[in-house]
Amino acid sequence: MSTAATAIPYKVPKRRHPAVLFMTQQPLGAAGLVVILVMAVCAAFAPWVAPYDPLAVDYGGMLSRPSPEHWLGTDSFGRDVASRIIYGARTALAIGFIASFLGCTAGAVIGVASAYFGGKTDLIIQGLMDVLLSFPIIVLAITVVAVLGNYVVLGIDVNLIIAISVPMLPRVERVVRASALAIREMPYIDAARAAGYSHTRIIFRHIVPNVVAPYLILLTAFVAQAILAEASLSFLGLGVTEPTPSWGLMLSGAAADFYQQAPWMIVFPGIAISLGVFAFNLYGDSLRDWLDPKIKL
């Protein structure tokens, strides 16, 4: 007597959310993202997170050691170091994100245009990019901010943002141009041209979506460089000026004079800069590994 085979129902595997997949596949990137989110929360809610006014001067409490009253001590003006670091996250993230967005977006636009139109347009653009690439990032930023000077709008130095974003432009342009060149030779681009589609439609419908991944990776990675560049320029006296809280500015001036008597004035802002740059680098590298299909294979 034959027995009928029992059919085993097929269960469709439950699809996990992309955020969950990223955290499980890229734990280091998830850790970096957590640090970034903590920085963003501290920056957004600084008036409620910071224990003191970062600009309040207390000459009776100058150079106080870290204590329950002042967690990270005070500086040479009696200002709370922890509060200035929390408010300094606003300066670092605001300038970092805006400068990275402007530099990467401008570089991506120029890279796509250079790759698509080619010819003399590509030759002229690449010549200009070669000139910009010949300067180190910090040297080019110092040159731009020294020429433009300071121009503050709503508490943000516009010229400082331009000075930081300009060195990013040629580096992003080269990466995006390489991706766009490969896409331009695809058969569906030739088919779109044969169908009579306009340049605008081909660029925005077929090329731009395919360069979004490298653009996002570079955008994230260059935030770290923008934060470091802002801190360097502020340390040199070419960036944010007193009394605005800035991590780089906290390392200059009186901090260099009292580094033996009050090392916390240098140690804690330095840790904040290192942690912020490290977090964005971790997240950017993990995002690259997660979005690049060649690495996944």
pLDDT in tens, the chain (297 residues): 445 555 555 454 566 666 677 677 778 888 888 999 999 999 999 999 989 888 888 888 888 888 888 888 888 888 889 999 999 998 899 889 999 999 999 999 999 999 888 888 889 999 999 888 888 878 888 888 878 776 666 567 788 888 889 888 898 999 999 888 888 888 888 788 888 878 888 888 888 888 888 888 888 888 998 998 888 888 888 877 777 888 888 888 666 677 778 888 888 998 999 999 999 988 888 887 777 655 454
156, β-bridge pairs: 153
Provide the pLDDT for residue 297: 45
Sign of the torsion formed by the C-alpha atoms of 145, 161, 248 and 168: negative
Which distant-in-sequence residues (6+ apart) come within 8 Å of 103 by Cβ? 164, 165, 166, 167, 168, 169, 172, 222, 226
Report the SS3 class of residue 82: helix
Q: What is the enclosing helix (H) or strand (E) of 116?
A: helix 81-117
What is the pLDDT at residue 85? 92
Residues in the chain: 297
d(CA 270, CA 264): 9
The reported pLDDT for the residue numbered 105 is 93
- Asked if residue 95 lies in contact with residue 230, where contact means CB atoms within 8 angstroms, the answer is yes
Q: Are 213 and 221 in contact (CB under 8 A)?
A: no
Q: For position 58, what pLDDT does the model report?
A: 83
Which domains can be identified in the chain, with CATH numbers? 80-296 (1.10.3720.10)
Residues 6+ apart with CB under 8 A from 243: 55
Classify residue 156 by its DSSP letter: E
213-235 as b/e: b if 16+ CB within 10 A: bbbebbbbbbbbbbbbbbbbbbb
pLDDT at residue number 109: 92
Q: Which residues contact 16 (CB under 8 A, 6 or more apart)?
A: 24
pTM for this model (two decimals): 0.83
Radius of gyration of the chain (CA): 25
Rounded distance, CA 284 to CA 217, Å? 6
Q: Say what the pLDDT of residue 48 is.
A: 92
